[in-house]
Chains A and B, each alone.
Chain A
């Protein structure tokens, strides 16, 4: 790659589509950028509208106690973002201000709050569903959308620290859940092809932490639990996962005590849409000027 050439991130910022904040992976978005996000959001809604999904929206922070129980820290301690707040008195406040002015570490009186930044849109959902009691015979489908946080600063515009994840989540008997994922694997690929983006689906694993994580990742692959729909954005060698199709088996059902109508532990699966990733893929392949995009792509997104 040419060292002096502007990167995709440079181009997006110069065009005003993304706005720098001084932190890698944390950007503002322009109205044009959001128009594309909204268009893709509508397309996702249209494709899923016949599935009877219940719409639920959580804020981008979740209950820390539920987060702790979720097991996220066992698998991804490096990605989690916890919210802290000042907990001192007047004297400690004066010390805080003095530390700030001296450019010193001011975090001494920061205490963990009850809020953790949401790591994936579906994490707050499972305990909520468990509280409702046994599932109906057909199981349930949910429609989620949330800003998520992952602590992985990067200059790749597709790897943001705060980004939106739209999800459909299926909760039910194993056959219902497996069929849902298979349906979305096909639907998702067709959807991205409609947007005239080059793509392929591949087996994948989550970025589990450390040596123990190698065993987890190997299991996930051996069992075919995660697939990603990949689009070349930053490079052809390392294409970007724009959609993911995840089968959790009974992991969340057992953890939260979600039961099917017949009393079995529920299985879960989700399809996730990386809203910014798809948007940036469209900008990369069709250009930074939406008006010049192929007609059929604009029609699909109602732009």
Chain B
């Protein structure tokens, strides 16, 4: 979760620090734009060495920290543990 928050801080262009965001908090409501969501997606792929499949390439996958973690866990169960 901390790594996800770091990447959100770097690529999400949110007015608030990611450490102040609850896992279920809506990132779009917190100021995440569609363009920033795309940058976030690319940065997450690189950081966790994953590739989001077609079915995850949508707005919902990047809507909360919890949702992002769920996607990463599904693609690479060990990625978030390390």
User: Which A residues fall within an 8 A CB radius of B?
Assistant: 71, 74, 211-212, 214-216, 218-220, 222-223, 251
Contacts and interface: CB of A to CB of B under 8 A. Distances in A.
Interface residues of B, number: 15
Given A71-B35, A219-B37, A220-B34, A212 B42 contact: yes
B74 interface: no
Contact of B41 (A215, A222, A251): A215
A90 B58 CA distance: 54
22 contacts: A71-B35, A211-B52, A212-B42, A215-B34, A215-B37, A215-B38, A215-B41, A215-B57, A215-B59, A215-B62, A216-B34, A216-B35, A218-B57, A218-B58, A218-B59, A218-B60, A219-B37, A222-B58, A222-B59, A222-B60, A223-B59, A251-B33
Nearest to B51: A211
B54 interface: yes
Contacts of B42: 212
Contacts of A74: 35
B57 A214 contact: yes
Contacts of B33: 251
The 6 A-B pairs of least Cβ separation, nearest first, read A214-B57, A218-B58, A219-B34, A212-B38, A219-B59, A222-B59
Contacts, number: 36
A297 to B, nearest CB: 40
Q: Taking chain A's interface residues, is the majority helix, strand, or loop, or is none over half, making it mixed?
A: helix
Contacts of A214: 54, 57-58
Nearest to A250: B33
B38 A216 contact: yes
Given A211-B57, A216-B38, 13 more contacts: A212-B42, A214-B58, A215-B37, A215-B41, A215-B57, A215-B58, A218-B57, A218-B58, A219-B34, A219-B37, A222-B58, A223-B59, A251-B33
A282 B55 CA distance: 39
B67 to A, nearest CB: 13
Nearest to A74: B35
A218 B34 CA distance: 9
Contacts of B60: 218, 222
Interface string B19-60: 000000000000001110110011000000000101001111
Interface string B61-77: 11000000000000000
B58 A212 contact: no
With a 10 A CB-CB cut-off, give which of B34, B38, B57, B60 has the most chain A CB atoms: B34
A268 to B, nearest CB: 15
With a 10 A CB-CB cut-off, give which of A211, A214, A215, A251 has the most chain B CB atoms: A215
Nearest to B42: A212
B36 to A, nearest CB: 11
A251 to B, nearest CB: 8
Nearest to B39: A212
Contacts of A215: 34, 37-38, 41, 57-59, 61-62
